[in-house]
A and B are shown apart, each in its own frame.
Chain A
């Protein structure tokens, strides 16, 4: 008698709760925040295409706890100021889960708002260590850290026995962070750093820098930043006959660098997350992307896909839609995703994530370097 009464009471209260929440509560909104426009929009394309595919496939398989996922998309232009505006809009729209942002300098200020407002955030692309250093409960990522990527690049350069190395960065959070990590690794290995210098993002004239590199007689140049600047540096270096090998982080590894630098992009070294689209277990997923006419090979496509999946799996594991419960479930569980098995540490970083060194070619393809 008592149990059935309880059941009835629960049933009534649940239906009342559902009625009260209205129509929108029947869906789970997933915010996707990243650059749709602006100089790094091609990375945003990767992010949006990966996340959309995940949402589509999860819904096709019955959704999460019987509810459909709905994508809500926001453009932050990779600008810290706009990222804050976007974060506030997300709060107003009542979104509880965010896939994003992309650029570290956007993710950092936006994550303050998410943490305060109880919104769970998973960034598929921001690699700055500072994002997860602040003890936030609701901030996660599906990508490695600069502090992992920097040493991989530094170790590779050191292993080539260079005479002198120059480290250049764009003075932004991402670029300078990673460049510092590379410099420190090289210093530890006893490699001579001829130069450590910043440029201005958005600048077009690098002739003075190239002249300086030539004068310093370096054989390796590491650039921390994005492709619009490195593309021009490569091109102007080639015109000035600078004979040095260039290397950059995943922020330079996309086909747009070929349109800017042309032939000069041949032989550029890039640290990238491993090509998840090449893994045998992801074959059917890759095919799904190709059927849609999208390219799954970008570094952030499958990390975004995995981020959506983690939100879905987290909700199911927690058996709750409260972001704090989901965060706790993500920290304690172990999840299978296209980017491999994911386990989180206390900070919200993946316990293991590797970066691989690739050689970039002027036709936009890449080959792994051993």
Chain B
């Protein structure tokens, strides 16, 4: 019983972090699916989302607002707006001018953008760790006769539920809406979609905006969950989310979700049963294995060379 509780606790920890990875991974996977490039500045968009949310929360609290749901919703909206305009601007400034060139050029442009945004926040907000207020506290505790107590915090539940809602909304949007259909068309064949009268530039911008808003959601959630943010924290999270996207099959939205969860759980199980020191060894080892044996990822479609 004791061991089971411990296992479930590590599972909860892993699923929490995994669903947040999935939210960030969507941005990587959608952009890749549509224009076949890896947006390395996406981790920074997530970081900017977290900073914006923190600024909004601090501002609202200073104004004397005390009703928590309102604070959270306003902070979330602010973060989503700032992040998605940032995502849109990054695409306009750094990717659109080099689109269609050799694959390496947009990649280098993306890395440059990532360094620029990191240092910009460094200068604007300082390089120190800033504490993020824990707005959602408390949770359920489960205990057997033993001393170990399993806990499921409201914050963790919030993360699961929000991720679930976002993912469902996104799937519906992609499968049902007109823009969603256009997205799918563009990802299948950009040239043909454009011939059929789809404004591909608008669709590409929409992809960046959707990815960035989901990253902003993750920024607010993880900021609250972890408790502190710094200008460099988008980099590692971005790397992990990118791994999740590749793991699940880059270009596939359910794949990003699956990849995120697998990555999160394998990380927490490694630190739980082996040692925290091996956490990154296992997650990136997993990535190498997948790339070796199933290069398209778990749910990715095999890429057929177009003639």
Binding site for B on A (CB under 8 A): 37-39, 41-42, 171, 197-200, 202-205, 207-209, 211-212, 214-215, 217, 227-228, 231-232, 235-236, 239-241, 256, 259-262
Contacts and interface: CB of A to CB of B under 8 A. Distances in A.
B134 A262 contact: yes
Q: What bracket does the count of chain B residues touching chain A fall in? A: 35 or more
A171 B232 CA distance: 19
B227 A208 contact: no
Contacts of B267: 208
A204 B134 contact: no
A202 B17 CA distance: 16
A262 B233 contact: no
B116 interface: no
B220 to A, nearest CB: 14
Contacts of B128: 39, 41-42, 256
A208 B236 contact: no
Given A171-B277, A205-B17, A217-B147, 15 more contacts: A37-B127, A38-B127, A198-B277, A199-B276, A202-B233, A203-B236, A208-B10, A208-B272, A214-B148, A215-B6, A228-B228, A236-B227, A240-B151, A240-B153, A259-B130
B227 A232 contact: yes
Contacts of B228: 204, 228, 231-232, 235, 260
13 contacts: A39-B230, A171-B277, A205-B13, A207-B268, A209-B271, A212-B271, A214-B149, A217-B148, A228-B230, A231-B228, A235-B134, A239-B139, A240-B153
A264 to B, nearest CB: 9
Given A198-B277, A215-B148, A241-B149, A262 B131 contact: yes
Interface in B245-274: 267-268, 271-272
Interface in B1-29: 6, 9-10, 13-14, 16-17
Contacts of B230: 39, 228
| Most A CB within 10 A of own CB, among B129, B149, B222, B236 | B129
Contacts of A260: 129, 131, 227-228
The 9 closest A-B pairs by CB, nearest first: A208-B271, A207-B13, A259-B131, A204-B226, A235-B227, A198-B277, A208-B268, A228-B129, A260-B228
Contacts of A208: 10, 13-14, 267-268, 271-272, 276, 279
A83 to B, nearest CB: 16
A215 B128 CA distance: 32
A202 B271 CA distance: 16
A240 B230 CA distance: 23
Interface in B137-153: 137, 139, 141, 147-149, 151, 153
Interface string B203-237: 00000000000000000001001111010110010
Contacts of A38: 127
A261 B227 contact: yes
Contacts of A199: 276-277
A132 B286 CA distance: 41
Contacts of B14: 208
Nearest to B230: A39
Contacts of B271: 208-209, 212
| Most B CB within 10 A of own CB, among A41, A205, A240, A260 | A205
Nearest to B13: A207
A42 B236 CA distance: 23
Contact of A207 (B17, B131, B147, B236): B17
